[in-house]
Structure 1
Amino acid sequence: MTQQDAAPGHFTPGRESLAAYLDDHLIGAETGVRLFTAAQRTWEGSPYEETFARLVEEISDERDELESLIHALGYARSKAKAAAAAVGAAAGKLGPLNPLSTGGGATGQLELESLQSLVRMKESLWRTLLVLSGTDHRFNAARLQELIEMARGQQEAVAEVMEKTAVERFLATD
């Protein structure tokens, strides 16, 4: 029996691996939405507020698209991973450290670099699915290419904020 012939709910090891991979990326996407939303609050009132507002909208839409894809493929979310993600989200809201609260100094730089890394990971997801689209026609190659380009643009947008604010962050005088 091929993976294509597997009964619904019964996945061969390759399918289980893909389901777990997509589920992990969905957790990452949910984290990304939270972190970009926090960044939007951090940069509120700055010339970069609109940039982060746009990024939050795009990344939220992509998270929703990934979740829809997971359901369309017949995969179910891991209850354990979903619960762990919910606990992590709650802890992040209650904890004394807001990972994107200052925007300044070395911490601000690392926060922006972390946002770029999250978007780079997402780009890697879309690239992986694009490769799979060559043999699994459930993946829309044209849409995946669009998502790759969007991720590149998002990385550039964060890099632009990082570069334009670096002097102020590191070389500002009192």
Structure 2
Amino acid sequence: MKNPTREERQWLFRYLEDHLLGATGGVRLFQAAAQTWEGTQHGRTLSRLHDEIDHERSELLTSLRSQGHRPNPAKMVFAHLSAAAARLNPLNVSKAENGPGAQLELEALQSLVRGKEALWETLLALLDDGWSFTGYDRERLTQLAERARGQQREIAAIMVSTAAERFRA
């Protein structure tokens, strides 16, 4: 194990910024999905997942800042513009629980959470190589990776339990 160089840490910060950018849009997509499914048991699940993912995004931003890194302003402007577009819910413009738009919306949510799981797994691997991350230890990163797997299962359960109805005329 060796301490990462300044250049290596900058590479990591860029990677984390990209995840922060994705999380910013992802939070809005979860919010849009929760609104689509509002009034159903799935709406409650998606609303809770939105809250969890929003908290994890804030936690990532806090960790970056506490390590003395300020996210690239241009990337953050892009993130907020993307989040505004996500609020319009381009995957499910009709905001309906049925049809291909709803299916694509759920698939996108699952992909976003899989990407987040990959982030936590990557940080765990770096931790094994001697890196350290303010706010994240092995226990917390493992917990976050497990949570992401659980979130994926919950989204998959919604897809499976509603698929037949979603494609009926």
For 1:64 and 1:92, the matched residues in 2 are separated by 18
For 2:27 and 2:119, the matched residues in 1 are separated by 16
Q: CA RMSD in A?
A: 1.9
2:17 matched to 1:23?
yes
Structure 2 SS opposite 1:50: helix
Structure 1 SS opposite 2:12: helix
Which residue number corresponds to residue 40 of structure 2? 46
If the length of structure 1 is used for normalisation, what is the TM-score? 0.86
Q: What is the Cα deviation at residue 108 of structure 1?
A: 1.2
Q: What is the Cα deviation at residue 76 of structure 1?
A: 1.1
Q: How many residues align?
A: 163
- Unmatched segments (≥5 aa) in structure 2: none
Match of 1:160 among 134, 157, 160: 157
Identity across matched positions, percent:
44
Q: What is the Cα deviation at residue 86 of structure 1?
A: 2.3
Structure 2 SS opposite 1:112: helix
If the length of structure 2 is used for normalisation, what is the TM-score? 0.88
Q: What is the Cα deviation at residue 74 of structure 1?
A: 1.6
Amino acid at match of 2:159: M
For 1:75 and 1:147, the matched residues in 2 are separated by 22
For 2:58 and 2:166, the matched residues in 1 are separated by 34
Asked if structure 1 preserves the Cα contact closer than 8 Å seen for 2:91 and 2:104, the reply is no
- Computing the radius of gyration from Cα coordinates, the structure with the larger value is 1
Amino acid at match of 2:118: S
2:141 matched to 1:141?
no
For 1:27 and 1:143, the matched residues in 2 are separated by 21
- Unmatched segments (≥5 aa) in structure 1: none
Q: Alpha carbons of 1:91 and 1:33: their partners in 2 closer, same or farther (altered >3 Å)?
A: closer
Which residue number corresponds to residue 27 of structure 2? 33
Amino acid at match of 2:33: A
Structure 2 SS opposite 1:35: helix
Asked if structure 1 preserves the Cα contact closer than 8 Å seen for 2:3 and 2:131, the reply is no
Structure 1 SS opposite 2:97: coil
